[in-house]
Amino acid sequence: MIISILGCGWLGLPLAEQLRDEGHHIKGSTTSPEKLTLLKGKNIEPYLIRLDPRLNADADPDFWDADLLILNIPPGRNREHVEQFHKQQIQAIIENIRDSSIDEVIFVSSTSVYPEQPGIVAEEDAKAGEAVRPSGNALLKAEALLMNESSFDTHIVRFGGLYGYDRHPVTHLSGRKNLSNGNAPVNLIHRDDCIGILKAIIHSNISNHIFNGVSDGHPPKKMYYPAVARAKGLAPPVYNDDENEGYKIVSNMKLKHMLNYTFKYPNPMDF
């Protein structure tokens, strides 16, 4: 296959390398001119593509000459008017897909689309306008635009908190005091499993489905993050006493059932 990956960063680049090694022709985009040489050196056809929110005028249209497009461009959390901005980005992408050979899209979304409702949440529990953060509502609007488009099939994967290798959320929590919501369960996923899930979708015969991508294990924050910090030689975060038990756990049952996927890192406590 010819696979274009829009966003060859922390997740997109190792995904591109693995798909390349499987024999696919990979086209990868970056917003940094300095990274074009890196992509080319890895035998990934490099493209400079920016969406601010329209596509940059000098973007090479050959990027859209592909069988499959993987969209890995999260909305900025701190940007003003993030919902409108991300919507315009997705609309610009759709316009280019319509005039291309692409007939399948995989959109990397996030579990931030879910409201703060207690209990287990599944894919159908996301509701427009009810996400915890504006970035979550932006992703819901992007999902709807893609799923409602008839010129290509869309798969959506809502990944939980990302970790693995040089990245872990505990880095930002180290040494902090009086943190709340210590009983809240973590909904995390290792990068290797993100890549494994995306590859499983590519190799499947399914179409137009939404999946939650989170690990099986959901230890509470007050147990998990101090333990990880100590293992990494960092100052552990300290959580306040928390009697609240009304927190959400994101279900991965649909993904495991439909894709028959087995996690490489099922429990984030196995570090």
Determine if the pTM surpasses 0.75.
yes
Where are the chain's structural domains?
2-162+190-215+250-259
Which is more confidently placed, 79 or 185? 185
> Residue 44 above 90 pLDDT?
yes
> Residue 12 above 80 pLDDT?
yes
Give the pLDDT band (50/70/90) at residue 77.
Answer: low
Residues forming a β-bridge with 237:
none
Across the chain, which distance is largest between two alpha carbons, in Å? Answer: 56
Given this model, what pLDDT does residue 111 score?
Answer: 97
Give the pLDDT band (50/70/90) at residue 243.
Answer: confident
Q: What is the CATH number of domain 2-162+190-215+250-259?
A: 3.40.50.720
Q: How far apart are CA 46 and CA 63, in angstroms?
A: 9
> Residue 40 above 90 pLDDT?
yes
Backbone dihedral angles phi then psi of residue 84, each to the nearest 5 degrees: -70, -40
> Residue 244 above 80 pLDDT?
no
Q: How far apart are CA 130 and CA 137, in angstroms?
A: 7
The three-state secondary structure class of 145 is helix
> Residue 246 above 90 pLDDT?
no
The string of pLDDT tens digits covering residues 159-184 is 999 999 999 999 999 999 999 999 99
